[in-house]
Amino acid sequence: MVNLIILAGGYTNFIATYLFNSTSSNLTLLGQSPSGENPSWIASHPTNKSILYAVNEAFNGLGQLQSFLVGQDGALFNVANASSGGDGPAFVNPLSTGEVAIMNFGSGDGKFVPTKEDPLEFDDTAPVVTFPTPEKPPPSNFSRPHMALDVGSEVLVPDLGGDTVWRLAKDNITGEYKIQGQLQQPPNSGPRHIAVKGNTLYTIHETDSTLTQQAIPQDPTAPSPMIATFNITPPNPPPQAQFAAAEIRLLDSSPKFPKAYIYASNRNIGPVPAPEGDAIAVYEIRGMEFGGDENEFLVAAGNVGEAGTIVMRRTNGGADLEMVAQNTEILTRTTFVLLQQ
């Protein structure tokens, strides 16, 4: 039996809290905590699950990073905010250095916000890191940083507009993050999110719905050819379907799930809603997150449509997914944090 508290952000003014009970397969909405505008991405502190970070995906200088204390039954209390330094922040990730990375999808820049002794408090003096403008004709002449992942002493930032993954490192003298190289991606592929295992980079590309694999060379200026490219468009797509890859999770093997798997979600952003059937292909999956013992459960939702939030169980050693619970009280969600009780 497992009880999971599920925190779920989206394009609303609140972060929802659900309780999932694996024995009854009940997914219950416990409450909605006020969050300000569009908490479209949320992330837990790496070692203290009582601390949650969220974006306010807002424009006109209102993009923000927020911290919350997670209370009893997953209720959230806002403690501090810091400016994201740009527009439309769609991603936040606390780094192992104690800084919290926030990437401004809308303005092609981002910030690494240091936290104070209490990781709920921000030092709001960090400079903005601006990514180079891609040499593309308008309206594609914008950098679109979509994520930040720390790998060793580097931070990797996939840039959907620039078709590249930037390699950043802290300048030893100024302590500021600087671009020191890049991992080039195929033209117009739209790299959105990444996962790393050892020195292998897996990238999910939104525009051409592919998953690619390449090495991360030790030298940040060295080129890195693709080792493999997979098309992740579902077979027999419904009429007028238009897929846009969204999310990637790489799960290592464990006793119950002997193989490591990559889970890639795909949204159908076409004009015609897809018929019911296979949950992953049908529901326009946007956010997804794993939790429970050995990451047995996957929580997913769409950013459009009416599927609400669903819980799936990994079956067949992790090769398949089976839907076990659904809650449609809130129709769309984009991001999850799972806390085991």
Ligand X SMILES: *[C@@H]1O[C@H](CO)[C@@H](O)[C@H](O)[C@H]1NC(C)=O
- Where along the sequence are the contacts to ligand X (CB under 6 A)? 24, 26, 28, 36-37, 48, 50-51, 56, 64, 66, 69, 78, 80-81, 118, 120, 133, 138, 141-142, 169, 171-172, 180
The nearest distance, CB 285 to ligand X, in angstroms, is 24
Q: Which is nearer to ligand X, 91 or 142 (CB)?
A: 142
The nearest distance, CB 14 to ligand X, in angstroms, is 11
First to last CA, the chain: 11
Neighbours of 17 (CB within 10 A): 23
HEC letters along 145-179: ECCCEEECCEEEEEECCCCEEEEEEECCCCCCEEE
Q: Which is nearer to ligand X, 36 or 234 (CB)?
A: 36
Rounded to 5 degrees, what are φ and ψ at 281? -75, -35
Q: Which is nearer to ligand X, 49 or 269 (CB)?
A: 49
Q: Which is nearer to ligand X, 114 or 318 (CB)?
A: 114
Q: How many CA atoms lie within 13 A of 193 on its CB side?
A: 22
As a whole number of angstroms, the distance between CA 188 and CA 179 comes to: 21
Q: Which is nearer to ligand X, 83 or 266 (CB)?
A: 83
**Token digits for 292?**
């429970």
The nearest distance, CB 73 to ligand X, in angstroms, is 13
User: Tokens 């013992």 belong to which residue?
Assistant: 293
As a whole number of angstroms, the distance between CA 245 and CA 101 comes to: 22
The nearest distance, CB 16 to ligand X, in angstroms, is 15
Alpha helices, H only, 153-243: none
Q: Which is nearer to ligand X, 80 or 279 (CB)?
A: 80
State the Cα angle at 67 between 63 and 68, rounded to 5°.
Answer: 130
Residue facing ligand X at closest CB distance: 36
The nearest distance, CB 236 to ligand X, in angstroms, is 36
The nearest distance, CB 66 to ligand X, in angstroms, is 6
